[in-house]
Amino acid sequence: MQVAPSEKQSIIYIDGEFMPERDAKISVFDHVVLYGDGVYDTCCAWNGKVFKLDEHLDRLFESAHAVKIEPPLSKSELKEAVLETVRQNELQDAYVKIILTRGVGELPLLSPYGCTPSLIIFAKPYMRLVGEDAHEKGIRAKLASVRRIPDQCLPSKIKSSNYQNHVLVRMEANEAGYDDGIELSTEGHIAEAPGYNIFVAKGGALYTPKDNILVGITRQTVIEIAEREGVPVHETTLTAFDLFNADEVFFSSTAGGIFAVVEVDGRKIGSGTPGLIAARFRERYYDLLESGEQSAAAY
């Protein structure tokens, strides 16, 4: 069904149908509503092409397999559904989210068996988790008291729809006057930020946490850029001390790109302003988006 988008109503894909935003609904008894029981992935379209869509779909299917949710579409069918969602909304630059829920079971109880999964895709005009001025000024981050859920409890490689942990970290940081929070593992090691991976620049090399993190597509892109730029990257264990004494710290994510952290827990990072490495890598990242060489064309 072809639906004409309007300024206020985006077009949403749900279980094989495209519909106006006002009509896009799922059951209140879906496990994703009752228990946060689902997986998702987020990607972006740039100049009408979805960046690294195959990699995003691979990660979504791996997450789904790990939690035993069977996607209703094959990977190639889902790829076309994502591209069609971008087309239906007539977008060139878009924030795209794919949500796969456990679905509705016979009874609104915890049992995951006998549920029919639901698939939701939406595309909105490209938006960032941080404001435009974050690239110019950098952000201030707080080490959160709320710890990252350990892999023994919920594998961090699963991109789960249950983000309560991240919400609490963001809330704690914002209410303390910071732009965002940084999550530590239960052992006190640097993990990630809510929706971001973390990089430390020190002595001409990059360092990034190796454990208890979501392996971000943008994180992997930073590593690929570093290889082309001749910058060594070490996936390792980091502590707060490493952040405090870094030359630069920066975050990476699909909904934000690459941007500098200029203060952590009241400690100035480097010069206290966005550094040259973060700026250079951000430029290379947007060059990749502009080129479309690693993207799937919607048009």
Task: Quick: pLDDT tens for 262-299.
Answer: 999 999 999 999 999 999 999 999 999 999 999 999 99
Asked if residue 256 has pLDDT above 90, the reply is no
Question: How far apart (Å, rounded) are the C-alpha atoms in residues 183 and 166?
Answer: 8
pLDDT score, position 120: 98
User: Exposure pattern of 15-42 as b/e (b: 16+ CB <10 Å)?
Assistant: eeebbeeeebebeeebbbbbeebbbbbb
The superfamily in CATH containing domain 133-291 is D-amino Acid Aminotransferase, subunit A, domain 2 (3.20.10.10)
Q: Does residue 8 carry a pLDDT above 50? A: yes
What are the residue ranges of CATH 3.30.470.10 in the chain? 11-127
Backbone φ, ψ for residue 172 (5° rounding)? -60, -45
Asked if residues 100 and 69 have their Cβ atoms less than 8 Å apart, the reply is: yes
Flag whether pLDDT at 241 surpasses 80: yes
Looking at the domain 11-127, which fold is it? Answer: D-amino Acid Aminotransferase; Chain A, domain 1 (3.30.470)
Q: Are 64 and 95 in contact (CB under 8 A)?
A: no
pLDDT digits (tens, 9 = 90+) for 77-126: 999 999 999 999 999 999 999 999 999 999 999 999 999 999 999 999 99
Task: Show the beta-strand stretches assigned E in 109-244.
Answer: 116-125, 139-143, 180-182, 197-202, 205-209, 233-236
Q: What is the pLDDT of residue 132?
A: 64
pLDDT for position 6: 47
Given pLDDT bands bounded at 50, 70 and 90, which one contains residue 135? confident
Question: Where in the chain are all domains bearing CATH 3.20.10.10?
Answer: 133-291
